[in-house]
Structure 1
């Protein structure tokens, strides 16, 4: 365990951030050392809380968070070890480069919101800002926005491979009758967590909110999720469709809103939303498996299905999948893999991932 040296919360947060930022700068040895310092400092915080006589300093939840952060730093050390100067270079034993955690403040998602990036998220950011704040009828930062008549997938770099995450339920326990679901997304090797989603659930209620975090920032969420409730709670409630609102790193507090064609009906999808001036629809990934990750398509037009009395709709969705998933089984344990078309920017990818993980957590409440 670490020494009992005092460290303020602000200094500890800077130390944690530094470890991830050095990793992104490919300063692997320095990053490894900072992860070690952060883990030791967090162990000291746990020691101090256990001997504290102050109610504020003796919080079981605070210790749980600190232990999770320690596990994250130790895991990143294992990921970095092959890349140290004393290791095998910039690739691991499988010949793959180090997979970065999106770091706070300086890399990754923040740049996707800049107009110079040309990403769909930058277009969404601009359109949201203009709709809420700009008195102008034109777009001052673009001469011309990409036309929504051009399929989104044609704007993606075809040389980039799909981005893959492996999804796992990692923990569940009871506190005051409440179960906490912790769901992680690991990178392609299925070894190291990149994202976490947490949601609480009581047996007599529904999951109505969740927090989606980059592990570099845990427990600070980068996306907060709200789910609409179900009027009539029964054994099928978890399988009934609902609205999902996702609030992320956007220019205004306006959330991304996903609306099902038929609310409070089985299954959850089709569910539609607009992003960057384009329209997208989630459709069932497997009509025989409600928990399978959904498949995402772009569409331009939808209309009521002739003869439907329950709100079913048709659309002109493109054939090209933007997101799709599959199930893996080891013994009695099931996990899921989700793929994103290569070139989808990080902000958009995180929003889509948060939506799928939140939906699955609700479905898991019916299974467990």
Structure 2
């Protein structure tokens, strides 16, 4: 019986992945039917779980995950419906743009790590490998890498449009005194979810960990996030800076360190990626919840006269990531933009960083 359950689970995962693979290949009609089959199979999983005579302490969480997967497949069907029988291409027969999910496809991300791609993530992957396995501190391969003196933004393909995500806190509930936050990143049309970030916290503590997912792979983690601990001593605790460690496709995490720990605001916060140095700075000095702005820099130094650790730098004037706030009634939502041509892996790491920071700030508003 156990072997049968494993085979059934593997078959279900095959159906789910095939739906996204067909969509990625622009086989829209096939993808629509596969999304339908996946949703029906998942709905049957819930029925089987509810009918089980063997109680499972994890069953509530399993059903929550399955319901999220069903929602994802139904959402993809709504995106595909106007384009059925339209053939391949980015537009249908009436010239309407197809809104699909290139970002959550794992094979696209893996391609960014290949040396041939020339992406910043491929450079970072190479440097990570050399630091871990090369017996030499210097190898000729370094001479082939782009110089950090050449601005990163000038190396991007400027013919590519900027990438925009709309950020929404989708739901939150309390179980055993713990609040769970689910934050989503939707595509430029603000209709279809591409990424999810989930985290939990208790009222007397701050968020210390989160998981970032591509919706096509949920609940398989894309990036795991850890934050340095900070006690909730006052109402301003959520606004105080902390370290963020993001572990994705690399053997070592990306480490973001604030200039001043446990001080308001969160930024400046600095990290190294692909041999280059980047800094998050406040997106709006008068609004702590506004998404941060990312710049590249080459040098930083202590601010003269500062007693709290403030630093100055030679950050370049062109931003790589920036955001804005929208108001719909009394509800706030946020939009974040990425410079065109930025590779997917790097973009996902930056998006995960901004989303987890936003969720930490949301805990102060509850």
> Do both proteins adopt the same fold according to a TM-score greater than 0.5, normalized to the shorter chain?
yes
Tell me, in whole angstroms, the C-alpha distance in 2 between the residues paired with 1:8 and 1:341: 43
| Residue 99 of structure 1: how far off its partner (Å) | 2.3
Tell me, in whole angstroms, the C-alpha distance in 1 between the residues paired with 2:365 and 2:324: 18
Match for residue 165 of structure 2? 165
1:89-110 CA distances to partner (integer Å, 9 max, x unpaired)? Answer: 74367832332244555x2101
SS of equivalent residue, structure 1 residue 327: strand
1:242 aligns with 2:234: no
| Residue 140 of structure 1: how far off its partner (Å) | 6.7
Q: Report the more deviating stretch, 35-44 or 127-136.
A: 127-136
**Distance change (3 Å), C-alpha of 1:362 and 1:145:** same
Selected match of 1:272 from 267, 270, 277: 270
Return 5+ residue gaps in structure 2 as ranges.
Answer: none
**Distance change (3 Å), C-alpha of 1:86 and 1:349:** closer
Tell me, in whole angstroms, the C-alpha distance in 2 between the residues paired with 1:286 and 1:186: 23
Match for residue 359 of structure 1? 357
**Distance change (3 Å), C-alpha of 1:25 and 1:138:** farther
Return 5+ residue gaps in structure 1 as ranges.
Answer: none
Please give the root-mean-square deviation of Cα atoms over the aligned residues, in Å.
1.9
Alignment TM-score, normalising by the size of structure 2: 0.94
Tell me, in whole angstroms, the C-alpha distance in 2 between the residues paired with 1:91 and 1:139: 47
1:299 aligns with 2:300: no
**Distance change (3 Å), C-alpha of 1:128 and 1:90:** closer
**Distance change (3 Å), C-alpha of 1:317 and 1:6:** closer
- Does the aligned pair in 1 maintain the 2:26–2:89 contact within 8 Å? no
**Distance change (3 Å), C-alpha of 1:103 and 1:329:** closer
- Does the aligned pair in 1 maintain the 2:28–2:87 contact within 8 Å? no
How many residues are paired up?
Answer: 361
Tell me, in whole angstroms, the C-alpha distance in 2 between the residues paired with 1:58 and 1:42: 17
1:175 aligns with 2:185: no
1:278-334 CA distances to partner (integer Å, 9 max, x unpaired)? Answer: 000000000111110000000000000000000000000000000000001100111
Match for residue 230 of structure 1? 230
Counterparts of 1:316-331 in structure 2, within 5 Å, are: 316-331=314-329
1:203-223 CA distances to partner (integer Å, 9 max, x unpaired)? Answer: 011100000000001111100
| Residue 88 of structure 1: how far off its partner (Å) | 11
Alignment TM-score, normalising by the size of structure 1: 0.94
